[in-house]
Amino acid sequence: MGKRIKKNRRRNKQMSVSAKRTLNMGGIIAILFVMVIFNMLAKTRAETIQKEIGEKTRTLERLEEERIREDSRWERMKSPESVNAALLSHGLKMNTPIDAQIVRMGGNRLPLKGQLSVKRAMAAKSRNMVRR
């Protein structure tokens, strides 16, 4: 009787040890599985973000290149030779103003004396005053 009980106890003990081992192993595997799944999800997310970044980088580069091209086109259009050519195509010619058309200002923000433009303006003003 006593021997049998002892045997059963040993057997039960062995069985409980196996169950614990299986449980531990299962837990590790489950953790590994979760890790793998998490890794896959993270990787997929990272890839999506990288693709997005890649696309946005390409768009930025494209727009930057577009800006450089447009800047260049605009600079060409407003160069003195292009402006002159454009005016000539409409029968116009650009000249620097003659002195009668220039008003030179002094440091006090008043026209400098003795200028033809100022003299003409004064003369015109006095004529108008006479007419009145």
Partner 1 sequence: MTRFRLQAALLVLFALYSGQRLVRSHIDPDVDDIDYAFERELKARRGSIYDAAGYPLVKSVPIWEYRLDPVALTNRVVRRRGEPPRPPSAIVKTISNALGLDFKETLAKAANYKNRFQFLARSSDSDAHRTIADSRLVSGVAILDKQERQYLHGTLMSHVLGSINSEDEASSGLELKYDKFLSGHSGRIQGMKDAHGRELYDKRKISIDPIAGADIHLTLDHNIQYEAEKELKAGIDEFGAGAGWAIVMDAKTGAVLAMASYPAFDPLAFGSASDRAKLNRCVGYTFEPGSVMKVITAASAFNEGFVRPGTTYDTRRDDPNYYRLPGDGSHKWEPRMTVADAIVHSSNIVIGKLGCDFGQERLYNYMRAFGFGAKTGIELPGEEVGILHHWKNWDKATWSRAPIGQAVTVTPIQLVSAYQAIANDGVRMRPHLVEKIVSSKGEIIYQYRPEVVSRPISATAARAIRQVMKPVASKAGTARRAAIRGYSVAGKTGTAQKSMGRRGYAPGLYCASFCGMVPADDPAIVMLVSLDFDAVRPFHQGGNSSAVIFRRLATEILKYLMVPADRPDELLDEEV
The residue ranges that bind partner 1 (CB under 8 A) are 18, 22, 25, 28-29, 32-33, 35-36, 39, 43, 46-47, 50-51, 53-54, 65-66, 68-69, 71-73, 75-76, 79-81, 96-100, 102, 104, 112, 114-116, 119-120
Nearest distance from C-beta of residue 119 to partner 1, angstroms: 6
Please name the amino acid found at residue 63.
L
Q: Which residues contact residue 111 at a Cβ distance below 8 angstroms, ignoring those fewer than 6 apart?
A: 103, 104, 105, 117, 118
8 A C-beta contact, residue 104 and residue 118:
no
Shorter beta-carbon distance to partner 1: residue 5 or 122:
122
CB of 9 to partner 1, least distance (A): 19
By beta-carbon proximity to partner 1, the closer residue of 6 and 119 is 119
Q: Which is nearer to partner 1, 1 or 98 (CB)?
A: 98
CB of 66 to partner 1, least distance (A): 6
Q: Considering the complex, what minimum distance in angstroms separates the CB of residue 30 from partner 1?
A: 10
| C-beta of 2 vs 18, nearer to partner 1 | 18
